[in-house]
Chain A
Amino acid sequence: QVQLVQSGAEVKKPGASVKVSCKASGYTFNDYFIHWVRQAPGQGLEWMGRINPTSGAANFAQKFQGRVTMTRDTSISTVYMDLSKLKSDDTAIYFCARGAAAGVVPFDNWGQGTLVTVSS
């Protein structure tokens, strides 16, 4: 079955960076974009950006441009999201989710989420 398994919780200090991984299995890795969505405590869902696993090309929400990078390692079907210059309001659960690369579609499978806490 389709699975997206994310790395574990992180605690970071303000100004630091965090790298969260998302390992895909149960489907052809290159057939689906991977999106990153975050959710601050008690808040709604916020799309951060997406990566095309085939080309490695990524696009980001304007809010995160300059602070986020997304990369992939096709040999292990894993995508990484790196967020730099962390602030306290970056404290959130970060989800990866897949959306088909062929055509425009919503996100049909999600990772379990990774809690990132930013605190001094």
Chain B
Amino acid sequence: DIVMTQSPDSLAVSLGERATINCKSSQSVLYTSNNKNYLAWYQQKPGQPPKLLISWASTRESGVPDRFSGSGSGTDFTLTISSLQAEDVAVYYCQQYFNTRAYTFGQGTKLEIK
């Protein structure tokens, strides 16, 4: 299985500041025939199911604020929140969907307000 490792495990950022979460996969999730990275980011708030934020490493879902952005390719990826808002407090997960026999998630990064 592809192992997804996020860093840091937790993060405290001041309102209005930038938050950066990293995700590393144990093998490449880039499908070279279409040049797409099979990597998604989810946001989970307490008591709620996860919400898909970004797919294909960098494509925001409809309705997701543009302060959220994803970048990276191959095995190294980043989720950036450009200006943290109070409603962004949540746990964030990366997920690979390259191996459809075994989808895997990172362990999660807890984002809090400093």
Contact = CB atoms under 8 A, between A and B. Distances in A.
A108 B61 contact: yes
Interface in A101-120: 104-108, 110-113
Interface size on A, as a range, is 20 to 34
Contact of A44 (B97, B98, B103, B107): B107
B102 A44 contact: no
Contact of B50 (A45, A61, A99, A104): A45
B32 to A, nearest CB: 14
Contact of B103 (A35, A108, A110, A111): A35
Interface string A23-35: 0000000000001
A120 B37 CA distance: 45
Nearest to A4: B49
Given A45-B50, A110-B49, A113-B49, A104 B97 contact: yes
A62 interface: yes
Given A106-B40, A106-B95, A47 B49 contact: no
Contacts of B52: 106-108
